[in-house]
A = this chain, B = another copy of it.
Amino acid sequence: MKKLIGDPRAVVDEAVRGVAAAHPDLLRVSLDPVYIVRADAPVSGKVGLVSGGGSGHEPLHGGFVGPGMLDGAVPGAVFTSPTPDPIVAATKAVDGGAGVLHIVKNYTGDVLNFETAAELAEAEGVRVKAVVVDDDVAVKDSLYTAGRRGVAGTVLVERLAGAAAERGDDLDAVAAIAERVNSRTRSMGVALTAPVVPHVGTPSFDIGDDAIEIGIGIHGEPGRERIPLEPVDAIVDRLLGAVIEDLPFESGDRVLLLVNGMGGTPLIELYIAFRRAAEVLAERGLELTRSLVGNYVTSLEMQGMSITLLQLDDELVELWDAPVQTVALRWGR
């Protein structure tokens, strides 16, 4: 194992200390229990948004905490769900009196622990709703999940629900936006290499020098099939074809296209893939209306990417364009 780390068991603790040192203007970090909230939390009268999950997917979720997106993020150990305690603590820390929305990727551990945390927080008087993100079209049921997995589409749910909360929507309305975004979002990924979990020390799976895994999960869970390495255009056609046919997206739809790096793939390759994806959208009559390219939901140093499409409408475009100020995603003037 070749990593820039010290004690493999301390990576999350040491990383959140780094986050605290780097971003005191944007973030406030609790070390025991571990969670991250926006510096001005709780925002009185605003619905709070909390997400979380195993670490190793950075910048998800801590990089998306700030005005216009999440109020709090709860990192578990690497590829391991956070326990209910820190979720409860983060939920209480961001409750400004208007309730809290939990945004949960569909993994069995995450769903159970967020459910328990919601019950505990409600017992303390915080109104909580939850939306479960399940955008991955690759497989139904998998190693850690009943139903479809939640993958890179989570960023879009966090962003658009966050914008809705920021404009003053109430808890039911913010939850409805999150559900709408999830229902209109589809993703699929590919891996060229395997990630190495620090406290394990060896690659999460074996893959030959010439093979790729189509439909990989963000923890390296098996996908649809293992095939020989292909030119990128053929890979994009596979991923995007499956995504388009699933919803289905239809000619005339306006879409947001996210080409997401899995961690170890250079940005230049993501743009090469984006080029082909944009061509495919044009061929299918889909209107490329908003774009995002980069490492947003990663799997440690895994090489690969995922492609996500969101079917937009006027309101979602307006929410997308609203100001956002997080470490990993920001715009607006």
User: Which residues of chain A from 150 to 181 have a CB within 8 Å of any chain B CB?
Assistant: none
Interface set, chain A 313-331, CB cutoff 8 A to B: 323, 325, 330-331
- Find the B residue at minimum CB distance from A63: B267
Complex Cα distance A194/B189, Å? Answer: 25
Contact B5 A272 (CB under 8 A): yes
Question: Interface code A49-91, partner B: CB below 8 Å = 1, 0 otherwise?
Answer: 0000001101100010000000000000010000000000000
> What chain B residues lie within 8 Å of A22 (beta carbons)?
271, 274, 278, 291, 293
How far does the Cβ of A181 sit from chain B's closest Cβ, in whole Å?
Answer: 20
The smallest C-beta distance from A154 to any residue of chain B, in angstroms, reads 16
Does B15 contact A268, Cβ atoms closer than 8 Å? yes
Measured between beta carbons, the chain B residues less than 8 angstroms from A252 are: none
CA distance A304 to B3 in the complex (A): 9
**A19 in the interface (beta carbon within 8 A):** yes
The digit string for A237-266, where 1 denotes a CB below 8 A from any CB of B, is 000000000000000000000000001111
Instruction: Tell whether, in the assembled complex, residue B209 and residue A18 are in contact, meaning their CB atoms are under 8 Å apart.
Output: no
Residues on B with beta carbons closer than 8 Å to the beta carbon of A199: none
Minimum C-beta distance from A228 to chain B (A):
11
Out of B17, B193, B231, B333, name the residue touching A5 (CB < 8 Å).
B231
Q: Are B330 and A192 touching (Cβ within 8 A)?
A: no
| CB of A224 closer than 8 Å to a CB of B | no
Q: Can you list, as one digit per residue, whether each of A172-213 has a CB less than 8 Å from chain B (1) or not (0)?
A: 000000000000000000101100000000000000011010
Please tell me how many copies of the chain the complex holds. Answer: 2
- Chain B residues contacting A331 (CB-CB under 8 Å) are 325, 330
Chain B residues lying within 8 Å of A325, measured Cβ to Cβ, are 331, 333
- List, in ascending order, chain B residues with CB within 8 A of A273's CB: 4, 18
Contacting pair B298 A232 (CB below 8 A): no
Q: Is A288 an interface residue (CB 8 A)?
A: yes
Q: Check if B231 sits within 8 Å of A2, measured CB to CB.
A: no
Q: How far is the CB of A215 from chain B (nearest CB, A)?
A: 15
What separation, in Å, do the CA atoms of A200 and B304 have in the docked complex?
Answer: 21
Determine whether A301 belongs to the interface, using a CB cutoff of 8 Å to chain B: yes
Given contacts A2-B192, A209-B2, A331-B325, contact A268 B21 (CB under 8 A): no
CB distance A232 to B265 under 8 Å? no
> Can you show 23 pairs from A to B with CB atoms below 8 A apart?
A3-B232, A4-B192, A4-B304, A5-B231, A5-B232, A6-B231, A11-B269, A15-B269, A18-B273, A18-B274, A18-B293, A21-B278, A21-B291, A22-B278, A23-B291, A56-B268, A58-B267, A58-B271, A78-B268, A268-B300, A325-B331, A325-B333, A332-B333
7 nearest CB pairs, A to B = A18-B271, A18-B275, A21-B278, A58-B267, A18-B274, A4-B269, A22-B291
Interface residues of A (CB under 8 A from B): 2-6, 11-12, 14-19, 21-23, 55-56, 58-59, 63, 78, 190, 192-193, 209-210, 212, 229, 231-233, 235, 263-275, 278, 288, 291, 293, 295, 298, 300-301, 303-305, 323, 325, 330-333
